Structures are given as structure tokens and as C-alpha cells.
Chains A and B, each alone.
Chain A
């Protein structure tokens, strides 16, 4: 999870109350925030573009400015350090990513200001026409929503907050810009009639954000941006199957952005910007609307005095609307059901008060509560989500843990009982248990043993390393690997493992079957067939079922020094013998070694 630093002083100002530092952390924890603690950030400002770069004591200043790309070293001015609360982003609560949104939630939780916050939206300040081309399969990014903010004053810190919020929303709701991507622009650089359209990758050109100036010689075609601009390269995959690329322009054709890749340099927001236009484009209407609501309402919280104005979306029937739309979602909550689900005592008035602290609007109607959810909440799908909100407001720490009143009888699985006895048996014979990894590779697993690659192994399509490409089908490689890793350890060494091996099995529901195996190995200067046969017989004797021994030839054993025990009924259950010296060489072992592997399901008669 990405980590965010919430400036302590700004948060205090937004709360309207200075809280004791440890108390604040406790409240944040109770709200579900994963807080790392307080820390001081060193900060420098890029002399080229004014962007602020922050770093903790363990981080280095990046070599170049992330905003403008200029060389930073020797070209930045140090600022006063900033005390922040470091916490992991709570992915389900993007409305709490920024100081303003977090303060909004805390004010409610602490009872400073409860109920649903209302944001006045002024009449449309712009219109935005959607070109039906954005709904065609080869240029698909159908949804857009936008808003205008007036009376904006942006100091560099506020600018930093806006940029970070944008970045974090891209991560959490946008799924790395795929589902939703955000643009923020200086409204005074464009005409108030906007067009959401598509552009030809080869012909359409504009100067992307991060260029040294808006001079036309820095212009690139849309294709060039994807191929050469750092942001273009990073997000090119999102437009991979597009014949034409989404483009937001004004009516004169001036480009604001190429969603979801990059804005234009010309419409860049600076500390001097007084009016902003923000847009969200994406693949699903709900996500796009919610993202805009979160962004717009958070900006209102972070930039006191700002006035929100609507944008009228025009174009095809299904796209037409006025945004942002802060209409609440209405959900009915039964107090009795909520109290029973949580296991606490609640009356409707108390429940309503708790939900108001979570910033919902609530009307008590007898036993039920009519709840209106703020439009910036992205995580309320069902009544049960409000029950959780209620529980959080009540405080998990205030709920008294208790046990279920119903009596039930439990029991272990039969194979676990067998496995436990097998362990006791091997321990009694003086063997030490090892646990080796279930993931292995052809090289170690079968190559090491001198076998052809298993045809019945479960294989991983996206391995993370060449050592972990398949599930083991035998425990023997793990035993040999154990000896290999302990070549300097005193002899004799005797180890065992009881665990699952997995084999493809077309009759199994999932196409593969896990079988519990037992394996043991002994290595010493005098290890030999007689010894392993005695061990095999001890094991077979303790399982108490009749067996007979057969000679066979199988890797990794020496021909003439290997046998299998066959149960009747049951079939082959245990194989044991002396390991072939070629195998010993491959594992770097210099002492005679014997191995045994058995199938516990067959041995115990459970198969």
C-alpha cells in the first residue's frame, strides 16, 4: 500500500482543534487507518517549476524533478521541515486520502461537526460536449464528468496536496488510471466550451506537461508522447488497442489533456491559478462520477473559500448530465438488525447519532433509520456497510467479546490423525522433521533425481523465479536438498518430512489431487540398504497392514538396492533404497545415503 504523509499542523487547523499527538493516533487507529507514526519530512522546492519534493530521512532527493523533469541537484531551495503523520492509504476510503477529507471524517468521529456535509454547486460555468467517437470500440473511454472551482488560492503546499490526491485516486479507484483518470487544469487558459473527443495518433500534436515551455517546437504527436514521454511510456498499455486516442480540448481545439496519459503544458495549474477545471474520464459511469465527487468535495475541504461550479455535459443522450452530482444514496437501516449483527445494545436515537458521526444524514423513523450517504463515499453497497460504519463509530474497542451461544462438536480429519502418528513414529526412530517448500522446479525436482520432467505436475503460468515453477510430486528432492544444505553438519543425519504432494488428476474436481506423503532419509559413512529396509519394515509394521516386498528399478535409486512394499489390498505404498552415486554427486553429497517415500493414504487404508 502506498503511504501518505498528512501534515500535522494543517490537519489541526482543518479540525479546528489541536489534539494531543498520541490521542490523535489512537482515534485514527479506531477509524481503521493504518498509522505508522509521526515523522519529519525534509523538503526542497524545484527552482524551475516550484514543485515541492519531500523525503524522509532514509530517502534521497530524486535526481530530476518529477513535475518538470529539470535536474534537481543544485537547483532546488531547501524549505522548513514538515511534521507529518505517516499512514498507509486506506484503499476503500479514498475520501480520507488528503488532509481535508481526513479532517472531515475526524470532525464527525469526534463530534465536532456531525451529519452529512453539503457542498453548494453553482450554476454551470462551462459546457462539455462528448463526441460519440469516445464510445466506439477502437477509441473506447466513454465516460467523463467535470467541475469548475472558482476563487482558488493555491500555495505550493496546497498544490502539492492536490497533486498527491490526484495520484492516490489514480491508484485506488482508477486502478492505475485504467478505470478512472483525473485532469486538473487552469480554467483561465481555455474557452469555457470543452470537447471530449478523439485524435489521430500520427497527426494530432500538442505540448505535453513537463516540457520546458509551451513553445510549439516542444509539441509531439499523440503517438510520440506514448513512445517518448515518461508518462506516455508508463501508461501506453492503456491505449494499446486504440486506433484513435481520447482527447479533451476546448472549442478552439486547444488540448487540455490526452486521457488517461497526460495534460498539456499550456493548461498547467500554477500557484497563480485562480480558477480550475477538473475532469475524470473512465470506463464505468459510477466510478467516474464517484471519483469526481471525491475529488471535488476534497478540494472544497482543502481549499477554504473555494466555490464549486457545475459543468454541463452535452452530447449523446446517455452521456448528458450536469456534474458534479452530489445526490445521496438512500439506504434504510434497521436498528434491531444492526444491534444484533454487532452484538451490542443500541436504540434508534443512539444509532442515528453514531451514523451522523460517520457523516451520514439520518432520519429516525421508529425502529428504522433512513440514511442518506454522502456522495463522496465509494464503499457503501449495502445496508451492511452502514452497520460497519455504525460499529466503527461505536468503537470496536467498546464491543465486549463473547462466544457463540450454540454448542457444537468438532473433530479432526482422519488423514491428520494418520499424519500425526507417522510423525510420532519417525521421531521415535530418531528422525528430525524438516519442512521444505511446496514449490520447486524441474531442474531440482526431477533433474536432480535423474528423472525425466514429471508429466503429471501442476505447473505455474507466471512463476516469480526459475526455482519455483511447479508443485512437488515427491518429497525426496526436499530430503536430498536438506542434506545438500547441511554437508558440513555432523553425521549421521536422519530427517523426515510429512506433507502434501500434488499431481494432475483429470478425475479430480480441480484437475489435480493433493496426497499426503511421508519421506525420510539417512546419510552416514555406512548407510545402506539393510538399514533402510529395517526402517521401512518398522514403519510398515506400525501401520499394521500386511505387505510384501518387490524389487524394482527406479530413479534416484541404485538398481539392485531398491524395493517397494505392496499392500494387499492397497497396492504400492512405500519405496526405499540406496541413492545412486550420480544423484549424490549432483547434490554434492559424499556419503552413502538411503531414502524412503510412502503414501500415507495407502499405508493407512484411507485411500
Chain B
């Protein structure tokens, strides 16, 4: 004897709906007919297929989608089309530098279009000149296959279409080949078309009688208190279905790198120090034996301040005198010095500190005897316009080891330990050249994704011309390392400024545990 079977609402509707169909039907059509959510129908069909009542057949297809921003880019046609039109209108070879004015494109866009123009045979570049190519005449009257495809997509409000629809208006494969790599224009997504039909077993089950089960979505306090839940069927969720996202409060990615850096140096027995963002040229440069005419000190590279305009020299007049003499002729350090007249006025300039070495040199002056290890993480300033690899403000970690027993080999060991702890295994040391350290070294780490060495910062042993005027007679190992590059590697960011773009979407999505 056959008994009636009960099914959750969607499955019940699918079974009864499919019983009226002769053959296959797509999930989309079925959902429309049942007036149900397509995702729910798909999930229901999947469940029924696992119990053998429904067969689901999937065929892949390509969906063509206009990239976001593509509509704007395509106003007036593809960049190469706009260049071609300009060339045709000019009726003569045109200088590359003229094109932005003729086309309304930026010079970067003009530059980007050159490869396409050459590829399509529309125009040829010779030196700084662009002239019509062999295909130009034909292209003038006939849109390319890629242009036809893009036009068809543009005509649609949602900017998307099944590949078959586009194949009606152009040579689809040719169009896709031309558009390959132009992600700013077109995205090709692989999708699956699902078709369902009732199996023989399914038909038999429907014939034997099916009904819709009474199901409950939300368990309520009332259902629990009254015990009514015992009579109800709790609806099963499709675990694949999307839900509204939740995001925790979390630290900024750069802040995490800073915190890690601090932890590593604390673990290695370093004391944390600080120094002001507003610094005197004396501590930022002079105390570091950086000659007063050094290019890094120029207005072009360093932010000088209008307010406060000057900062008094240190109260210890002997110290200032020792620094002056060391610059001029080496003083008592056995050095030749730089051989110029040191001007106290230039040392009084107020700057935004250009490196956190200003912090370590102050710490050395305060306690020059040691043994001592200190570090400072902080913001530093360089007079740069913001671009993809420069920022006027960025972070550094500086550290020094003041120790009679310290050697250059220990400096390399300390740097290696830091980068190992930060997750970089391959480190290379190459000679570097800085005015205040000798020997000096540049640190490189191996970046597997780039298959290249990346420079991380400079280090060295402070010169006697730096240490001796401060009353220090022992080796001082010193380094200043950039932190933004570490963050960029960690989070897969290509542009430094992207770290500070304050894009909440990115801040929410970038994983805490990376």
C-alpha cells in the first residue's frame, strides 16, 4: 500500500510543477512558473536529485558582462577607435602629443591604445608620429567584432548577456579574442545552466500522492514555551545560500604590521623609545654627521616648518661644539671631516623628522655608554607628492645596539632575526652607503611572487664622527627599515597609497589573520 509523502514547500511545488512538464525545463523557467525564488528552487531540486526523484543536468555557458566603469570608457567608442577617427579627420600623420587634445583622451589612454592600434592594423607609430595603418580604411566604415559585441552589451540595461545572444550579432570567438585581457571593458563569467526533469521514480512518487509539509522557519520563544515545536517540522536550510555579511571591529592592516614589529623587537630585548615628529635639523641631520649641504637636507626633499620656525640648539654647548668641529675637520675623531664651515643657524631649522633615526640618536646622546638596545616605530616625512610608490608620510622602525662587544656580523644577525620573525626566510645583504654609518648595508628580502629581491631598508654601524661627539666610545649598530613595504607584501597591495585609501570595503574584507 502506498502512502502519501510530505515535502517542504519548495520541493512539493517542484514535484507537482514538474509532473505537468513533458521533458526538461530550466530552473529559471520553473521558478518563474512556480513564482518562487530561483535559489530556493535550485536548492530544492538539488535535494530531490539526491533522493533520485529529480534529475538535474548542468551545462556550462559563458556570460558576458560589461565591466563596471566600461560604459563611461566606451562613450565615444573604444580609445583606439577615437584615435582612428581623429587620425582620419586630421587627414595627416599626427604627433602623439597632439592626440589628447584631438580625442579628449588622457595621454595615458592614448599610450594604452597604441598597442591595439598596431594590433588591429589601424595605425602605425613611427617615433613620436602616428599614421594610418593598412586596415584603417576598412575599419573606418565597419565596426570590429569586439565593438559589435560591446555595443550589444551596452544596449542592455544590466550590461550582461548569454554568449548565444551575442553570437547572433557578431563573430563571438573573434570578438572574445580581441577583448582578451581588456578587463576594464569586459568580464567573461563561466556559468552553469541547470535543467531539471522528473525521473521515473519521481513520477511514481507523484502518482502515489504528495503533500506540502507544515514547516516552521523561525523557532520562537512561544514555540519553545508552549512545546508546540514538537508538532512542527523545522524547515531545513540550504547551507549554501547566502546570508547578510557581518564584520568584526578590527585593527587597521598597517597597525597590525606595526604591532608585530614592536612585538618582535620587544621579544629580542629592546626597549621602546619615542621622539617628536617636529624635530630640529640638529638631531635629524647634524648629529648624524649629515653635511649641511647634503641633498637630503634641501627644501626639495625635507619639510621645513614655518611654525615653529626654529628650534634652539641643545643646551650642552660642548656637545654642539664637538659636532661642529667633527663636521668641519673631524674634531678629535681622527676623521678628515667634510671640510666646510658648519653654520649653527642651519642646525636650528625645524623640520618634520625624515627618519626615526632622530629618535635613536637622541637615545644614544642621552645614554651613550651601554650595553643597551632600543627601538622606535613611528611616522616619518619626506617631501614627496603622493603617487603609487611614494607618500609624504610613512612608517619606519629604527633600532640601535650600543655594545662594546657588538660587530657588523651582529647587525646582520639582528636584521635577519627580525625578517625571519616577520615571515621572510631569504634575506640578502648588499653594501649600502649612508653618511652616518660605516660599514653600511642594504637589506633585501626575497619575494617569491615577484621572483625578485626587494629592498627593505638601510643599516650600518654608526661612524665614529657620529658616536664620539656624543661621548660614545663603543660600536653602535643601527638600522632604519620601512614598514609599508612589509604591509604591501603581506596584504598583496601593489600601490603604497592603497594602504591609506580608507576604503571601508577593503578594511572589512582584508583578513585579520594574514
Which chain A residues have a beta carbon within 8 Å of chain B's beta carbons? 29-32, 60-61, 63, 73, 90-93, 175, 179, 284, 286-287, 340-344, 379, 381-385, 387-388, 391-392, 396-397, 399-413, 415-416, 420, 423, 426-439, 457-465, 468, 471, 481-482, 485-486, 489, 493-496, 500, 502, 504, 508-514
Contact = CB atoms under 8 A, between A and B. Distances in A.
Nearest to A63: B128
A458 B311 CA distance: 13
Contacts of A29: 430
Contact of A459 (B251, B279, B305, B405): B305
Given A408-B373, A435-B500, A32 B433 contact: yes
B309 A461 contact: yes
B308 A31 contact: no
B198 interface: no
A434 B502 contact: yes
A604 B31 CA distance: 61
Contacts of A404: 371, 373, 401, 403, 405-406, 410, 413-414, 477
22 contacts: A60-B128, A73-B127, A91-B433, A382-B464, A387-B438, A401-B416, A403-B413, A404-B403, A404-B405, A404-B406, A404-B477, A406-B406, A408-B371, A410-B266, A410-B272, A428-B249, A435-B252, A459-B305, A460-B306, A468-B392, A485-B502, A513-B276
Interface stretch (B21-29, B72-80, B185-193, B335-343): B335-343
A342 B408 contact: yes
Given A382-B465, A408-B270, A464-B392, A400 B409 contact: yes
Given A396-B431, A408-B372, A342 B303 contact: no
B379 interface: yes
Interface in B473-512: 475, 477, 499-505, 507-508
A443 to B, nearest CB: 17
A432 B304 contact: no
Among all A-B residue pairs, the 4 with the closest Cβ atoms = A343-B409, A343-B407, A32-B431, A511-B308
A142 to B, nearest CB: 14
A31 B311 contact: no
B504 A482 contact: yes
Nearest to B295: A175
Contacts of B230: none
B330 interface: yes
B293 interface: yes
A48 B405 CA distance: 65
Given A439-B381, A459-B305, A411 B274 contact: no
B290 interface: no
Residue among A406, A437, A485, A512 with most chain B CB within 10 A:
A406
B332 to A, nearest CB: 12
Given A402-B410, A468-B392, A430 B431 contact: no
A320 to B, nearest CB: 20
A502 B393 CA distance: 14
Contacts of A340: 407
A175 B296 CA distance: 12
Given A342-B409, A402-B409, A482-B504, A382 B293 contact: no
Given A61-B127, A404-B410, A433-B507, 19 more contacts: A29-B430, A93-B433, A179-B293, A340-B407, A341-B439, A392-B439, A403-B410, A403-B417, A434-B252, A458-B305, A458-B352, A460-B304, A461-B305, A461-B306, A462-B299, A482-B502, A502-B278, A504-B307, A510-B350
A420 B339 CA distance: 48
Given A396-B412, A405-B405, A410-B269, A433 B259 contact: no
A567 to B, nearest CB: 23
Nearest to A468: B392
B82 interface: no
A397 B269 contact: no
Which of B270, B276, B401, B429 has most chain A Cβ within 10 Å? B276
A481 B305 contact: no
B499 to A, nearest CB: 8
A540 B43 CA distance: 50
Contacts of A496: 249
Contacts of B379: 438, 500
B131 to A, nearest CB: 14
A247 B438 CA distance: 40
B37 interface: no
Contacts, number: 271
B276 A411 contact: no
Given A60-B128, A485-B502, A502-B277, A432 B507 contact: yes
A1 B396 CA distance: 21
B432 interface: yes
B307 A412 contact: no
Nearest to A420: B259
Contact of A510 (B278, B335, B501): B278
A527 B310 CA distance: 45
Given A382-B333, A427-B250, A493 B352 contact: no
Contact of A511 (B248, B304, B350): B350
A412 B280 contact: no
Contacts of B405: 404-406
A375 to B, nearest CB: 14
A413 B272 contact: yes
Nearest to B385: A464
B330 A432 contact: no
B265 interface: yes
Nearest to B373: A408
A410 B248 contact: no
A175 B502 contact: no
B423 interface: no
Contacts of B307: 457-459, 504
A286 B428 CA distance: 36
B149 interface: no
A388 B429 CA distance: 14
Interface in B93-134: 127-128
A416 B259 CA distance: 10
A81 to B, nearest CB: 16
B271 A500 contact: no
A178 B335 CA distance: 24
A415 B377 CA distance: 13
Interface in B224-276: 247-252, 254-255, 259, 262, 265-266, 268-274, 276
A400 B407 CA distance: 11
B249 A432 contact: yes
Contacts of B352: 458, 460, 471
A481 B276 contact: no
B303 A462 contact: yes
Given A396-B430, A416-B262, A432-B247, A382 B403 contact: no
B206 interface: no
A426 B250 CA distance: 8
B249 A460 contact: no
B248 A427 contact: yes
